[in-house]
Amino acid sequence: MTVSDKGTVDPDMNALDALFAQATNDVGARPSEAFMTRVVTDALAQQPMPQITPPSLWAQITAMVGGWQGMGGLVAATCAGFWIGINPPEGLPTQFETFLGSETSISLLEDGIKDTGMFGFGWDMEEG
């Protein structure tokens, strides 16, 4: 409701306010569907193309081994192999044993050299 400067209700202004309210919702001032389609067509024609960036080297490697799942399996297998290498389980021949083809070892210190009296380089030899 519009009130004039003198504090009285102005019927002309109130009628106009009502008319404005009706005009705000007037469907006659809305664009047609065909026009809206034209604007969308313009928009799509003017639209910058989506920027396609090539995948990084890391992304290419992970994709090569089957994505993150493949990469996870690869890391797990590597860790397991490394652990078995430094701490082989019982019964599994070591690399040294495999190389020699035998599990027999010779202890020179205990049986041979010590008994010959040549061990110790004279620290325990008596003088005179």
Partner 1 sequence: MPLDAYTDLADDALLAQYSKGDAAAARALTARLTPRVFGHAVRVLGDRSEAEDVAQDAMMRLWKVAPDWRMGEAKVSTWLYRVTANLCTDRLRRKRGVGLDEVDEPHDPSPSVTDQLQTRERMDALQAGLQTLPERQRQAVILRHIEGLANPEIAEILEISTEAVESLTARGKRALAQALAPAREKLGYEDDSI
Supply the minimum distance, in Å, between the C-beta of residue 6 and partner 1: 14
- Pick 23 or 76: Cβ nearer partner 1: 23
Q: What is the rounded distance in angstroms from the CA atom of residue 79 to the CA atom of residue 75? A: 6
For residue 55, which phi and psi values (nearest 5 degrees)? -65, 150
Name the site residues for partner 1 (rule: CB under 8 A): 10-24, 26-31, 35-36, 38-40, 42-44, 46-51
Supply the minimum distance, in Å, between the C-beta of residue 65 and partner 1: 31
- Pick 45 or 109: Cβ nearer partner 1: 45
For residue 103, which phi and psi values (nearest 5 degrees)? -100, 0
For residue 3, which phi and psi values (nearest 5 degrees)? -110, 135
Spatial neighbors of 113 by CB under 8 A, at least 6 apart, are 119
Supply the minimum distance, in Å, between the C-beta of residue 74 and partner 1: 34
Supply the minimum distance, in Å, between the C-beta of residue 5 and partner 1: 10
Q: What is the rounded distance in angstroms from the CA atom of residue 107 to the CA atom of residue 120? A: 17
- Pick 38 or 114: Cβ nearer partner 1: 38
- Pick 8 or 24: Cβ nearer partner 1: 24
Q: Which residue has the tokens 């519009």?
A: 2
Instruction: Enter the tokens of residue 30.
Output: 């809305």
